[in-house]
């Protein structure tokens, strides 16, 4: 492993230069904090959308605004998102030493990579990561809200929910480990239909009731695995926001749904 995964969607999904990118993320986080009631809570998992920032950036910021109090606590981010371009069986590691964005490089957590080696559903696929936006768009937010952290990125393809849950269990850790699931909701429905379907999907997630289909959420597979793990660890889901592209920067004929959900550790959570 000697390579750096270079950004694929900088300048498209988000600003391609460090200065404009940092100021965009900062302003999105400021706006999110102004309209949220974020209180210092033990956030273990975030469910975050992954469209271009003009579409879902503010909803993503609502999730990341929850991490202010944990800036110096979180040292590892386990990041799962669905593959959009290159099919893969299982969950794919990138086979690189770091991920780069215009804000700098994030080191891959080699100890976490080693911990996953016994799991047959975990593979290495640089191709699955090379052009994948679902993981990349989360990184500038993480770089802005966290201090020094390492990354364990997994591009999730054809996998069973229990296989995803087993990976999460292996990497669960304590307060130093944050899990981020990258997913949008329904795709290309008319505005009202999307609102209805996305509301139902969010109710399912808040009830920890899986599995979800890819029609409900493009990250249905990682979400379904998370819901198994969340039940086991008695996580408490909290809806931070729900909208679609018709509310932000798109027309209302064919919209994409976005939700931000935090999963909080409760007093009787198992470790």
SS3 assignment for the chain: CCCEECCCCECCCECCCHHHHHHHHHHHHHHHHHCCCCCCCCEEEEEECCCCHHHHHHHHHHHHHHHHHHCCCCCEEEEEEECCCCCCECEEECCCCEEEECCEEEEECHHHHHHCCCCCCEEECHHHHHCCHHHHCCHHHHHHHCCCCEEEEEEECECCHHHHHHHHHHHCCCCCEEEEEECCCCEEECHHHHHHHHHHHHHHHHCCCCCCCCCCCCCHHHHHHHHHHHHHCCCEEEEEEEEEHHHHCCCCCCEEEEEEEEEECCCCCCC
Confidence of residue 2 (pLDDT cuts 50, 70, 90): low
At 172-198, the pLDDT tens digits run 999 999 999 999 999 999 999 999 999
Is the confidence at residue 270, as pLDDT, over 90?
A: no
How many other β-carbons are positioned within 10 Å of the β-carbon of residue 116?
18
What contacts 254, CB < 8 A, 6 or more positions away?
Answer: 188, 189, 190
| 42-122+145-218+246-265 CATH choice from 3.60.15.10, 3.40.830.10, 3.30.9.10, 3.40.980.10 | 3.40.830.10
Give the domain ranges of the chain: 42-122+145-218+246-265
Confidence of residue 268 (pLDDT cuts 50, 70, 90): low
Which residue is it, tokens 């209805």? 196
What contacts 173, CB < 8 A, 6 or more positions away?
Answer: 76
Contact between 240 and 50 under an 8 Å Cβ cutoff? The reply is no
At 212-253, the pLDDT tens digits run 999 999 999 999 999 999 999 999 999 999 999 999 998 999
Task: Check residue 150 and give its pLDDT.
Answer: 98
Residue 2 Cα distances to 45, 227, 271, angstroms = 30, 35, 34
Is the confidence at residue 266, as pLDDT, over 90?
A: no
At 56-112, the pLDDT tens digits run 999 999 999 999 999 999 999 999 999 999 999 999 999 999 999 999 999 999 999
Confidence of residue 41 (pLDDT cuts 50, 70, 90): confident
User: What's the CA gap between 62 and 215, in Å, rounded?
Assistant: 24
Q: For residue 268, which phi and psi values (nearest 5 degrees)? A: -100, 20
User: What's the CA gap between 228 and 59, in Å, rounded?
Assistant: 24
At 164-173, the pLDDT tens digits run 999 999 999 9
117 burial (CB, 10 Å; 0-12 / 13-18 / 19+) is exposed
As a whole number of Å, the end-to-end CA separation of the chain is: 32
Give the mean model confidence (pLDDT) for residues 22-48: 89
Output the average pLDDT for the chain: 95
Contact between 261 and 239 under an 8 Å Cβ cutoff? The reply is yes
Specify which residues 124 forms β-bridges with. Answer: 93
What contacts 2, CB < 8 A, 6 or more positions away?
Answer: 97
Task: Check residue 40 and give its pLDDT.
Answer: 61
At 138-157, the pLDDT tens digits run 999 999 999 999 999 999 99
Residue 256 corresponds to which tokens in the numbers above?
Answer: 């994409």
Q: What angle do CA 69, 70, 71 make, to 5 degrees?
A: 95
Is the confidence at residue 1, as pLDDT, over 70?
A: no
Confidence of residue 39 (pLDDT cuts 50, 70, 90): low
């Amino acid at each position: 492993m000697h390579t750096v995964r270079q950004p694929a969607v900088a300048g498209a999904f988000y600003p391609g230069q460090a200065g404009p990118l940092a100021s965009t993320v900062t302003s999105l986080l400021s706006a999110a904090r102004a309209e949220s009631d974020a209180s210092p809570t033990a956030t273990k998992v975030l469910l975050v959308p992954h469209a271009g920032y003009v579409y879902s950036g503010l909803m993503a910021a609502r999730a990341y605004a929850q991490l202010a109090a944990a800036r110096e606590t979180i040292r590892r981010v386990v990041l799962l998102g669905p593959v959009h371009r290159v099919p893969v069986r299982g969950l794919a590691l990138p086979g690189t030493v770091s991920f780069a964005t215009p804000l700098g490089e994030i080191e891959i957590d080699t100890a976490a990579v080693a911990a996953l080696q016994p799991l047959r559903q975990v593979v290495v696929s640089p191709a699955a990561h090379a052009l994948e936006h679902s993981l990349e768009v989360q990184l500038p937010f993480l770089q802005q809200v966290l201090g020094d952290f390492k990354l364990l990125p997994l591009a999730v393809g054809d996998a069973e929910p229990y296989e995803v849950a087993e990976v999460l269990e292996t990497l669960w850790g304590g307060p130093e480990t944050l899990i981020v699931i990258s997913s949008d909701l329904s795709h290309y429905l008319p505005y009202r239909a999307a609102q209805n379907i996305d509301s139902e999907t969010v109710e399912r997630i808040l009830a920890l009731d899986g599995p979800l289909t890819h029609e409900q959420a493009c990250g249905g597979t990682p979400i379904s695995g998370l819901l198994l793990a969340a039940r086991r660890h008695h996580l408490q889901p909290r809806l931070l926001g729900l909208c679609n592209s018709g509310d932000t920067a798109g027309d209302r004929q064919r919209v994409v749904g976005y939700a931000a959900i935090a999963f909080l550790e409760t007093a009787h959570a198992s470790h």
